[in-house]
Structure 1
Amino acid sequence: MPHLSDLRYNARSHSSRDRFARWTIASAALMVAMAILAPTITQAESPASATPGISKEKPASGPSVKVAEGYMVPYSIKVPGTDVTVEMIPVPGGEFMMGSPESEEGHREDEGPQVKVVVEPMWVAKTEVTWELYKEYMKLYGIFKDFESKKIRPITDENKVDAITAPTELYDPSFTYEYGEEPQQPAVTMTQYAAQQFTKWISLVSGTQYRLPTEAEWEYAARGGTSTAYSWGNASDNIEDYAYLFDNSDEGAGFVGTKKPNPFGLHDMHGNAAEWTVNAYTENGYADFADKQPIAAVDMVKWPETAFPSVVRGGSWWDEEKEALRSAARLASNDEDWKEEDPNFPLSPWWFTSDPARGVGMRIFRSYKELPREKITKFWEASADDVKGDVQLRIEGGRGGLGLVDKELPAAIEKLQK
């Protein structure tokens, strides 16, 4: 299992809010400038297409991917029922060698053997999920509780397939928010299960499939077409141009999208917040897939059978070692350590409390071709029996929010709140 940094709660200054106050104006200006340089279209503006992110004509500028219907293009989705927008970037399909060669500085045994992987075109969120958006998901806990008490939108055997759980309210927000909860900081400390349910919520409320990536999809997106240790090369000399890390960000994560993007136009794939995948961690790396190559990236999954260890990618601002931010670097989750300071019993299936989990977040992906329901469900729901049991125990004990999600949910919430 990979080494987990022995970084503790008291190791850092508690002055992150002061730090953000000093550079909020500069960060905001940079984000505005980048928005001008990388225009996107909204779903409503997508020309002559019912599919978000598909244009019949090749755009005059910006990234695009030729497909049967026309061109995959950048687009923005305003999550229904919120004022929050997510930018999605088209990523071309291709083949790559997953993992790192033994000659790569920082190489670890669990990053091999290298395996040839085939990746289909996909859209990837330009940045990590922010607190601005994740807090909209968090609000559903109270809303679902109100629905339940008023017998509104009840869960039945027929519709429970479209139900999600919302994370319980934070018992002690100081654990999660010590290093900031600014709207444009990446959301952190959610479990893999909470991240999966988040993507199910966005999918069902918008009518478009979103999900966590497989490890292979994440690495392909992070590499941006490169085969070097980082998406900009093998040397870490200019890492601070692309990543928030311990050296320049030891009081919290930075605002998303304020560092240089990788060749695919994706920001913060290295550093800032580490990002969840759906894969269980494998100590023997990719040995189980070696005789199956080339293998499709969406199928290169070992589904978790227990709550941990699962795979987190990209490194975070907590990492002192720059090698932890390489494209091939892996981190195994550890619920026992990451929930060490959780005062709840049983421990929360939605939240972590302890480092390095306060550097763990997520990013959403979308396949070019929708996955069949039985397959996408594996991305949205827990596969580990112990996680399922913990969630069910919480729901039965009245300490979990369970609610139906569909396109009518925003109107139902608005009516409830009048």
Structure 2
Amino acid sequence: MIQYSNIHQTSNFAVLSISYEKADVETRGKFAFFDENIKKFVTQIHDENLGDAFVVSTCNRTEIYTTTSNYLLVAEEYCKTIGVNLSDFIQFADILTKEEALCHLYRVAAGLESQIIGDFEIIGQIKKAYARFKKERKNSNPFLERAINSAIQISKRIKNETGISNGAASVSYAAVHYILNNQNRIADKNILLLGVGEIGQNTVENLVKHVYQPKIKIANRTQEKAAKISEKYNIPNIDYADFDKELSDTDILIVATGAKKPIVNKSHFTGNKETLVIDLSIPHNVDKEVDEIKNVTLIDVDELSKQIQETIQQREKEIPKAEQIIKEMTKDFIEWEKKRKLAPNIHHFKAVLKNMERNEMHHFYKKNKYIDINDMELSDKMIQKITNRFAKFIIDNPLKADEISKLMHEILVEQPNNEFNEKH
């Protein structure tokens, strides 16, 4: 007897999200997830049989995406990994499940949940986070794989079909936008970028794009990485050990590092030079006390987001178009999930019909010593048509799927055998 899947069980997909909407920069920094945490977290989730989970951690949000029946246990393991209390995490977390969680993933990928609407840097961060998860997990999760691929497609469609990304307004551009609006003779300013990760690289790209021949230097703990950026944009790369010396001649310092605590503090500013310091890091990598220095202005991520409201207002008009795309893609995903869950039922139904066909063809051939190829093709088409109708019915009526599947099994498998035994 076939073992039917429990079609009444919906997906265990959930997301636990801490974002700028509830938590300020300082709070978000406490829950930041670093690369060295990945292996321990993924391994622990797997060893405790808690399904799968991966973490997206950016300057604006930290989110756990998981396929588990107990997302609070996953959250607890996450908190143990990064050294925070679960109660503190839950205080700031939004928890979404099932279709709401899926829709949230799509909205995040589309830039609709970004602090700066239409910021598509997030989709690259989601892809990288899932790739790191797969590397440690050593295999993929079909549900997550499909969900991430759909998120990527949604991001592409919204970029191509709406104007929600018109007018650059990413976090990295916001820094450049601030410089353009608050600094005179920018081409004469000495700019030092500390940290050449994804945001740092994007900042360099925006500086080169929007400032004519900017005087930029870069510094990074890993020289190899900095050397590649230096070569790509033809800008000087200084040794990290020379940072203090270089800072004394810097007009604009942009910090885009990924340290767990501030690496730039008041002691770094020994002269009276006017300096603009922009901290793009989460958690803060520039000590807030730096802002107390007379000639130093400190700007962080939250402050930058306020500088581009005009662009945001234009993008907001495109939100309905983006939401319609998300609605369509969410519907497609749910249809795929229904078919995936009911696939064993559908395959079994078709296999029974094919078996009946083979038996009937065999009896017909024994009697007539001939079978017309057109009859076989017609039979195949009829089986596929009947299977499609069966599939559509149980997909449209999932609560009846088990009952109908068992009933069809009794009619098509058990009853014919009884009839056969009666005749023979």
User: If each structure's helix is expressed as a fraction of its own residues, which one has the higher value?
Assistant: 2
For this structure pair, what is the TM-score category when the shorter chain's length is used for normalisation? under 0.3
TM-score (norm 1): 0.22
Please tell me whether Structure 1 or Structure 2 has the larger radius of gyration of its CA atoms.
2
Q: What's the TM-score, normalizing by structure 2?
A: 0.22
Q: Which has the higher contact order (CA 8 A, sep 6+)?
A: 1
